């Protein structure tokens, strides 16, 4: 286990080091909170850490760019890696432990067991990134097994991911609570994402159309519109007017199953995935009838 002298933070690189730290925390009777990340931390991640610190005595942040959730044509090699800055931010928050294994530690030679993700993984992201949630569910289950936390914290920006994890936890009887924390936005509304740094200044402006489209969906809903094709139409129009034409989906779905719905009668969610320049962005907003 490394105590980074210049950073004042404990970093476990191996499962053995991790186990020793966790054992010590458990012996002291501390409740464990887990914040899984792929690094390139921003305020969204830090809000998860703060939520974990409010509820748990010992907070573990994992930093691992999980290869199995990227398709061969996706941005695994290009994915931002900012480990030093991440440690600075986490040490400023006085996080108890960072687990930052290398690939071999979690996927040693011969690794071949994967989670078949729940049905909620199939629509939306599942249509465009067919293997993605298999990789997410597999790594998250591995982290849950390695870190016996009482609560794990995830961001609502990855709405479908949160549902996949909640369904997996229920279906596999995993003794952990999942807390979904609110989306953190830039002052102008753009949902924070590690991938925002790929946006050119022009694309950064265009990307604002995603949150604007969702604002319009929420406004329409508050005015009493319940027809989903009308709400999707608003979103589509705002995206296209801003020059965001590579829209993968801009739709309304059931908030729990993520199946398409025609009319909002129960808890629902508006979701968008679109390419802005070369960057794929996602965002969402809940639509909850009284
Ligand atoms: O949301 C993420 O950053 C990742 O999908 C996660 C949950 C850390 C799994 O690699």
**Ligand 1: does its nearest atom lie under 6 Å from the Cβ of 48?**
no
Q: Is there a single domain that holds both residue 33 and residue 176?
A: yes
In the predicted structure, residue 205 carries a pLDDT above the cut 90:
yes
Last residue in a domain, options 123, 155, 181: 181
What is the whole-number distance in angstroms between the Cα of residue 188 and the centre of ligand 1?
Answer: 25
What is the whole-number distance in angstroms between the Cα of residue 234 and the centre of ligand 1?
Answer: 30
In a domain, 247, yes or no: yes
Nearest by Cα to 157 from 131, 123, 193: 193
In a domain, 25, yes or no: yes
Residue 243 sits in a domain whose CATH number is 3.30.1300.10
* Tens-digit pLDDT profile for residues 84-109: 999 999 999 999 999 999 999 999 99
Q: Is there a single domain that holds both residue 207 and residue 257?
A: yes
CA-nearest residue, atom 5 of ligand 1: 136
Structural domain for 169, as ranges: 11-181
In a domain, 187, yes or no: no
**Ligand 1: does its nearest atom lie under 6 Å from the Cβ of 66?**
yes
* Tens-digit pLDDT profile for residues 2-36: 666 567 899 999 999 999 999 999 999 999 999 99
DSSP 9-47: EEEE-SHHHHHHHHHHHHHTT--EEEEEE-S---HHHHH
Rounded CA separation 209/236 (Å) = 10
**Ligand 1: does its nearest atom lie under 6 Å from the Cβ of 140?**
yes
User: From the alpha carbon of 194, which atom of ligand 1 is closest?
Assistant: 3
Residues with Cβ within 8 Å of residue 220, at least 6 apart in sequence: 230, 231, 234
Report, as an integer, the average pLDDT of 103-131: 98
What is the whole-number distance in angstroms between the Cα of residue 97 and the centre of ligand 1?
Answer: 18
**Ligand 1: does its nearest atom lie under 6 Å from the Cβ of 36?**
yes
* The predicted structure's pLDDT at residue 3: 63
In a domain, 240, yes or no: yes
In a domain, 257, yes or no: yes
* The predicted structure's pLDDT at residue 14: 98
In a domain, 290, yes or no: no
Confidence of residue 184 (pLDDT cuts 50, 70, 90): very high
Confidence of residue 218 (pLDDT cuts 50, 70, 90): very high
**Ligand 1: does its nearest atom lie under 6 Å from the Cβ of 143?**
no
Q: Is there a single domain that holds both residue 36 and residue 102?
A: yes
In 173-184, which positions are buried (b, 16+ CB within 10 angstroms) versus exposed (e)?
ebebebebbebb
User: From the alpha carbon of 66, which atom of ligand 1 is closest?
Assistant: 10
In a domain, 3, yes or no: no
Q: Is there a single domain that holds both residue 35 and residue 108?
A: yes
Ligand 1: which of 35, 38, 193 to mutate, most ligand atoms within 8 Å of CB?
Answer: 38
What is the whole-number distance in angstroms between the Cα of residue 38 and the centre of ligand 1?
Answer: 6
Q: Is there a single domain that holds both residue 139 and residue 16?
A: yes
Q: Is there a single domain that holds both residue 280 and residue 173?
A: no
Report, as an integer, the average pLDDT of 262-290: 98
* Tens-digit pLDDT profile for residues 51-74: 999 999 999 999 999 999 999 999
In a domain, 289, yes or no: no
Q: Is there a single domain that holds both residue 50 and residue 143?
A: yes
* The predicted structure's pLDDT at residue 1: 66
Scan for tokens 């959730």, then name that residue: 69
Q: Is there a single domain that holds both residue 72 and residue 164?
A: yes
User: From the alpha carbon of 36, which atom of ligand 1 is closest?
Assistant: 8
Number of structural domains (the chain) is 2
Q: Is there a single domain that holds both residue 262 and residue 155?
A: no
**Ligand 1: does its nearest atom lie under 6 Å from the Cβ of 125?**
no
User: From the alpha carbon of 38, which atom of ligand 1 is closest?
Assistant: 3
pTM reported for the whole predicted model: 0.97
Q: Is there a single domain that holds both residue 141 and residue 73?
A: yes
Last residue in a domain, options 181, 206, 227: 181
Last residue in a domain, options 181, 209, 234: 181
Q: What does the mean pLDDT of the chain come to?
A: 97
Confidence of residue 116 (pLDDT cuts 50, 70, 90): very high
Rounded CA separation 223/225 (Å) = 6
Q: Is there a single domain that holds both residue 146 and residue 16?
A: yes
The catalytic residue positions are 45
**Ligand 1: does its nearest atom lie under 6 Å from the Cβ of 135?**
no
Rounded to 5 degrees, what are φ and ψ at 37? -140, 170
Residue 60 sits in a domain whose CATH number is 3.40.50.620
Q: Is there a single domain that holds both residue 166 and residue 199?
A: no
């Amino acid at each position: 286990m490394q105590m980074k002298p210049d950073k004042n933070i404990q970093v476990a690189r191996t499962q053995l080091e991790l186990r020793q730290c966790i054992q010590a925390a458990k012996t002291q009777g501390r409740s464990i909170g887990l914040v899984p990340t792929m690094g390139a931390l921003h305020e969204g991640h830090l809000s998860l850490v703060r939520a974990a610190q409010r509820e748990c005595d010992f907070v573990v942040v994992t930093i691992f760019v999980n290869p199995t959730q990227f398709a061969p044509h996706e941005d695994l090699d290009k994915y931002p890696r900012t480990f030093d800055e991440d440690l600075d931010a986490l040490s400023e928050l006085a996080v108890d432990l960072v687990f930052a294994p290398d690939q071999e530690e979690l996927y040693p030679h011969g690794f071949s067991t994967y989670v078949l993700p729940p049905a909620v993984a199939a629509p939306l992201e599942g249509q465009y990134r067919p293997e993605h949630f298999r990789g997410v569910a597999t790594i998250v289950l591995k982290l849950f097994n390695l870190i016996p936390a009482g609560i794990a914290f995830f961001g609502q920006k990855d709405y479908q991911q949160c549902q996949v994890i909640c369904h997996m936890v229920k279906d596999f009887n995993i003794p952990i609570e999942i807390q979904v924390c609110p989306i953190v936005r830039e002052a102008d509304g753009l949902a924070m994402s590690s991938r925002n740094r790929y946006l050119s200044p022009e694309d950064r402006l265009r990307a604002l159309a995603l949150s604007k489209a969702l604002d319009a969906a929420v406004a329409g809903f508050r005015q009493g519109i319940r027809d989903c094709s009308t709400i999707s139409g608003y979103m589509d129009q705002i995206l296209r007017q801003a020059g965001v034409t590579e829209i993968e989906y801009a739709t309304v779905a059931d908030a729990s199953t993520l199946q398409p719905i025609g009319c909002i009668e129960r808890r629902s969610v508006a979701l968008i995935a679109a390419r802005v320049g070369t960057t794929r962005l996602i965002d969402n907003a809940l639509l909850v009838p009284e």
